[in-house]
Structure 1
Amino acid sequence: MSRATDRAARRAALSGSGPTSDAAPTARFPGAKSAFGLLGEVLLVGILVGLVSLPVVTLPAALAAGVRHLRRFLRAEHSGLERFWRDVRAALLGGIGIGVASLVVTAVLLLDIDLASTGVLPGGPLVGLVGWLGLAALVLVLFSAAGHWSPESGWLGAVRAVPGALRADPAGAAYLLATAAFAGIVTWQLFPLLIPALGCVALAIVAVPERPRRAHGAAQ
């Protein structure tokens, strides 16, 4: 093979349209080759997730659909918006129940944290700590379940996959918590930043399990 042909094959592989030779393996995430393209897609997902999440209880379904959209984009698969809306419709079945339960649990935990800070409850610091740990656990369950959801497995299968996924990757759980903290802080500072924050959350849910360190460890 000539040098020019080899270069063309490598370009085709990196763009996702190859490989055209055995020496030119396909890029793992060809959709991520363009930084500006990826940034635009993250912002788009943030807008879409924000719109679907307006009733609040639809946040799990919105995140699951956004995660699947970004995953298709990164793999250079067909990522038209019609597939996103199809995922939203499928994820709403059961997803609203998850959202209602999450909203109730969040309200109870925030109330405990608030009461603990006033000193009304005995053992206030311990109650506050339990409240914050509960919120962290809820975030991990929601993020991990959104990442595992598919129309085939449904929410029951996604929730069942959460404990094993978190046990297998505690560092990844820490990254997801850091992402949630980042999203909360930037939104608290300037509310319109909620849109890119939601896109970053969806990207983290996709990227954290795929990070090279974990992939290398799994291969061993």
Structure 2
Amino acid sequence: MSEERRARRAATREARSGAGPTVSGVEPGVNPGATAKFGLFGEVLTIGLMMTVVALGVVTLPIALAAGIRHLRRFVAAEDSRAGLFWEDVRAGILSSLVVGVPAAVIAAVLTIDVLVAGSGALPGGQAIAVVGWAGLLVLSVALLAAAGAWSPALGWIGAVRAVPSVVRADAAGAAYLAAAAVFTGVVTWALAPLFIAGIGCAALAVVAVPARRRRGVHHAG
């Protein structure tokens, strides 16, 4: 194989991955930042740690998720993904996020207490109450992830929350993936608390990946 053909093939691979320059006749790939799998994994863990620090206040979990999701979107798109931009998003939305964070924390606490009391056998029909409690926690988690994914400094938290029903209706399967990500985060955290770092990072990546999955499906159908 000639040197020119080898160079052409290498350039074509890079173009298709989205990481290299455009080559004539080759459609460039999307999300070039996601092509380096080990690099993406490292970024998920790094942003998971940063999100965990912000989420220590509990009521600050929404802005931790939103800032982490925006950071990973920039990273997979090979845009500017400096850590400083994450902290800028946190500063821009942390106070207004309390309108979501405080009610979400209260609802989660009430549902958790219901599940614990139901599991103790102190209430008649405890199993049904526990199922309702777990379902409520799952719905709350999906809504929180969807709202965090919709948030931007320009839209604000009220607009992000209002967008949740339309997001779920537009992609019910995507909502199921978000539910799976929430369950995964809960399970790994229950198994070993420090794994929350990886879990929340993966949950943020799921919010980024679900719409990309939908776009690819539309592209292939066309």
Where does structure 2 lack aligned partners over 5 or more consecutive residues? none
| Alpha-carbon distance in structure 2 between the residues aligned to 1:119 and 1:15 | 56
1:106 corresponds to: 108
Where does structure 1 lack aligned partners over 5 or more consecutive residues? none
* CA offset digits 1:184-206 (Å, max 9, x no partner): 11111111111111111111111
2:207 corresponds to: 205
User: Are the aligned partners of 1:116 and 1:128 in contact in 2 as well (CA < 8 Å)?
Assistant: yes
| Range 169-178 or range 136-145, more displaced | 169-178
The alignment partner of 1:94 has SS state of coil
1:181-220 equivalence runs, <5 A: 181-211=183-213, 215-217=216-218
Confirm whether residue 146 of structure 1 aligns to residue 148 of structure 2: yes
User: Are the aligned partners of 1:183 and 1:197 in contact in 2 as well (CA < 8 Å)?
Assistant: yes
| Alpha-carbon distance in structure 1 between the residues aligned to 2:164 and 2:216 | 18
Confirm whether residue 19 of structure 1 aligns to residue 15 of structure 2: no
Residue 9 of structure 1: CA displacement? Answer: 4.2
User: Are the aligned partners of 2:19 and 2:35 in contact in 1 as well (CA < 8 Å)?
Assistant: no
| Alpha-carbon distance in structure 2 between the residues aligned to 1:32 and 1:182 | 21
| Alpha-carbon distance in structure 1 between the residues aligned to 2:29 and 2:216 | 15
**What's the TM-score, normalizing by structure 2?**
0.89
Root-mean-square deviation over aligned CA pairs: 2.1
Confirm whether residue 116 of structure 1 aligns to residue 95 of structure 2: no
How many residue pairs align between the two structures? 217
Residue 12 of structure 1: CA displacement? Answer: 5.0
Identity of aligned residues (%): 52
| Range 107-116 or range 26-35, more displaced | 107-116
| Alpha-carbon distance in structure 2 between the residues aligned to 1:194 and 1:147 | 19
